Amino acid sequence: MEQQRFLTRYISVLYRQGNRYYDKTLARFGIGCGQQFFLMRIAENEGISMYDLAHLGHFDKGTVTKAVQKLEEQGYLQIVVDPEDRRIRRLYTTESAKEVIEGICISREDWHDILTAGMSEQEAEQTQQLLAKMAENAYHYMKQTNDAGHSLRRTFKNQTKEFDA
């Protein structure tokens, strides 16, 4: 039980400190941690739809809409209506986004170096693989037990207890 508590505590600390780091290093561009993921995914997938962007990052539509609006207001995105299906909005980075994207890449590299300080390359790679597996486990579990209040299973040694989410 103690190990589980520490695991989630460390993940929480990493998440919060990462947000603070990106908010600080990206403030000069007028964006924060919340927008950097979206800008990078759009730069890597020019013309991506808002729906596909949400799916790619496991975000809800409202979160994507808010981030895209902020990036558009900053002049980093252009939203184009798809000529074949006018319900679809295609996202493209602008010329002014190039400097921001470069800044994000530098910030990410620096944060990676900060997080992996004192680790061997093998330890850093193994940590990344384990975290990716944990993220995959969390995603698949939550996909199976949606947010509609379906009961979740919790196992204690040889007992299984049902409870509402």
Q: Residue 124 in 3-state DSSP? A: helix
Read off φ and ψ for residue 91, nearest 5 degrees: -115, 135
- Say how far apart CA 135 and CA 90 lie, in whole Å: 28
Residue 76 amino acid letter? Y
Q: Is the overall model pTM greater than 0.85, yes or no?
A: no
- For the chain, the domain total comes to 1
Q: Is 164 exposed, middle or buried (0-12, 13-18, 19+ CB in 10 A)?
A: exposed
Which residue segment(s) compose the domain that 105 sits in? 2-140
The answer to whether residue 155 is domain-embedded is no
- pLDDT of 69-127, one tens digit each? 999 999 999 999 999 999 999 999 999 999 999 999 999 999 999 999 999 999 999 99
Asked if residue 147 belongs to a domain, the reply is: no
Q: Is 105 part of any domain?
A: yes
CATH of the domain at 122: 1.10.10.10
Task: Return the percentage of the chain with pLDDT > 70, whole number.
Answer: 85
Query: Pairing relation of β-strands 89-93 and 77-81?
Result: antiparallel
